[in-house]
Structure 1
Amino acid sequence: MMSRIALSDAVAAALAEGRPVVALESTIISHGLPRPRNLAAARHFESLLLGSGVTPATIAVIDGVARVGLNDAQLARIAEDPGVTKVSVRDLAPAMTQRASGATTVAATALLAHRAGIRVFSTGGLGGVHRGAAQSFDESADLVALAGLPITVVSAGTKSILDVPATLERMETLSITVLGYRTSRYPGFYLADSGLGMDWRVETPAEVVEVMVAQDALDLRRAILVANPLPGEKQLDPALHDRVLADALGRAEAEGVTGKDTTPFLLAYFREHTGGASLEVNVELAANNIVLGGQIAREWARRGAPDAPAGAGDRD
């Protein structure tokens, strides 16, 4: 029977030897960034980790196999093949049995990273409660996944196109720990400050690891979200952001865009109507989170914290 989860040689070796590994999602490559910028960005993201002694584990489903760690050809396929779909947790089993190829969302990436034994995961922005969810019940599976997985996720907060206050409330209900990295203000993805506060703040990767260790000691099988804002001078202009967001939401409603098509539609609208500025901010914030994720993973490995369980996955 064909293996359903395969670790690349580099990821398998790093985990076996206790070296730092950071998981990376692939939806940002396939659906979050335009071609050909997406492939260049994906290679850049991995190089940031490699240059600091951390093994990148970009995750995707390719021809029915969930791959934890991609080679360059596989990375290019996710970036360039228009047939690559978005795969969340609910889609994993059908995609595997039908030998499909898909880019993993935050939820699916977190699940597969955990199954492989990877503790740290860097992404751009987190999914959450959609605007109007009181009527549509539209809420990202990211939140449900993180409520049941002991993984540390570094992100620039929740995508600002979503209902950020409602998302924070849901994370509280789901007991997802939220740590502000050198800030007490919850970041707003394109913006450094969403206007909302946080209860807990940390200043160093070592402090994040202390929380991870304490959470393990309590056997709390919940994610830790490290909210990592961009520096203010690198954020999208707030006035431009607010104007384009209002226009984008109106256009999405007028065109009947719903469900999983909403986020790609709104991000594309932002790119077009900010003259590409939002694209640069998106790449910048993702890179910023990857650098911090690498620092946390190195500290986690330095302390000898166990990552990969026995039989975590098949070596590629």
Structure 2
Amino acid sequence: MVLVLSEEVREAVDASRPVVALESTIIAHGLPRPRNLQVALELEDVVRREGAVPATIAVLDGRPHVGLDKDQLDRIANEDGIRKLGHRDLPLAMASGVSGATTVSATALLAARAGVRVFATGGLGGVHREWTVTQDESADLGLLARTRITVVCAGVKSILDVPATLQRLETLGVSVAGYGTDRFPGFYLSDSGHPVEWTLDDPEQVADVMRAQDTLDGPDSALIVANPVPREEQLDPALHTRVLADALHACEEAGVAGQGVTPFLLDHLMRHTDGASLAANLAAVRGNVRLAARIAAAWAGA
């Protein structure tokens, strides 16, 4: 795979300085214009303030880029026709010469190929509700089961089947630890209602686990660091429960299925919480990016 690393990212990787991978789907498909570009620049600035190099990842004209300059970020934020690319789409996008924003699975794959070990995102995909009927499961899980990368996230999206997702991660052999908590976060919520067996309390502990992964030399699976959104910035739990129930009912009534379910539910939550779900989402992402930069610094200082 021919990767285009920005000069800044290449120099940092070659010198073993801290680098944090960032996905681009939130820029192209997760936020309205012009706020999407503002948030993209803000998140990169958060990484820099913590002493690390941001590596926002996307595919431009069929070429996977690890690290984008301002003009390239502007393209992802404002150009019409930007595709949404999972890891399965990468060869098709490359051969077709199209441009696309990378999801968790594509970002994790390209980051690992570039030698970037730490990746910050909002929430992971997972096992969908009614899985026994639809067999719908995010590609994130399988990719993370075979990719050596540390993913800092706010758990999985609360619209998913959280206990089934945790069970699936266990089956796949993906390590999961709560950051400063023994509860698995629920994306918009600090606590999904489900426990985690392991807790890590500082970036140095996370880096120790990463080193242990390499020493063990076992399967190339990920480490998920589940970092809860601060309670004061989470979506009101009662509001979340009510609106999510309404969203699931509306989704069923509209006959939405497959890949359309997640964007339908997320849009319903944003509109029927007056934007509070989006505010909680951004609070979670900022916290994850900040923590990821600190972990990358601890890892680079080994």
TM-score bracket relative to the smaller structure: over 0.9
Kept in 2, the 8 Å contact 1:4–1:64? The answer is: no
Could you give the per-residue CA deviations for residues 62-91 of structure 1, whole angstroms, max 9, x where no partner exists?
110000001111111111123111100110
The equivalent of 1:313 in structure 2 is none
Alpha-carbon distance in 2 for matches of 1:20, 1:302: 8
User: Within 5 Å, which residues of 2 pair with 1:121-132?
Assistant: 121-132=119-130
Higher relative contact order (CA 8 A, sep 6+): 1
User: Within 5 Å, which residues of 2 pair with 1:212-251?
Assistant: 212-220=210-218, 221-251=220-250
Q: What RMSD, in angstroms, separates the aligned Cα atoms of the two structures?
A: 1.0
The equivalent of 2:94 in structure 1 is 96
Change (3 A) 1:164 1:246: same
The equivalent of 1:143 in structure 2 is 141
Change (3 A) 1:174 1:97: same
Instruction: Give runs of ≥4 in structure 1 deviating > 6 Å.
Output: none
* Residue 7 (structure 1) aligned with residue 5 (structure 2): yes
The equivalent of 2:263 in structure 1 is 264
The equivalent of 1:308 in structure 2 is none
Alpha-carbon distance in 2 for matches of 1:27, 1:254: 28
Could you give the per-residue CA deviations for residues 257-302 of structure 1, whole angstroms, max 9, x where no partner exists?
2222222222111111100111111111000000000000000001
**Amino acid of the structure 2 residue aligned with 1:22:** V
| TM superposition score normalised by structure 1 | 0.93
Deviation at 1:33, TM superposition (A): 1.6
The equivalent of 2:274 in structure 1 is 275
User: Within 5 Å, which residues of 2 pair with 1:1-316?
Assistant: 4-220=2-218, 221-303=220-302
**Amino acid of the structure 2 residue aligned with 1:130:** H
Alpha-carbon distance in 1 for matches of 2:79, 2:263: 16
Could you give the per-residue CA deviations for residues 106-141 of structure 1, whole angstroms, max 9, x where no partner exists?
000000000000000000000000111111110000
Alpha-carbon distance in 2 for matches of 1:133, 1:186: 20
Partner secondary structure for residue 126 of structure 1: coil
Could you give the per-residue CA deviations for residues 218-241 of structure 1, whole angstroms, max 9, x where no partner exists?
112110000000121110000110
Percent identity over the alignment?
A: 57
Kept in 2, the 8 Å contact 1:64–1:96? The answer is: yes
Number of corresponding residues: 301
Alpha-carbon distance in 1 for matches of 2:271, 2:202: 36
Alpha-carbon distance in 2 for matches of 1:260, 1:4: 29
Alpha-carbon distance in 2 for matches of 1:248, 1:30: 23
Partner secondary structure for residue 19 of structure 1: coil
Deviation at 1:4, TM superposition (A): 3.6
Kept in 2, the 8 Å contact 1:184–1:197? The answer is: yes
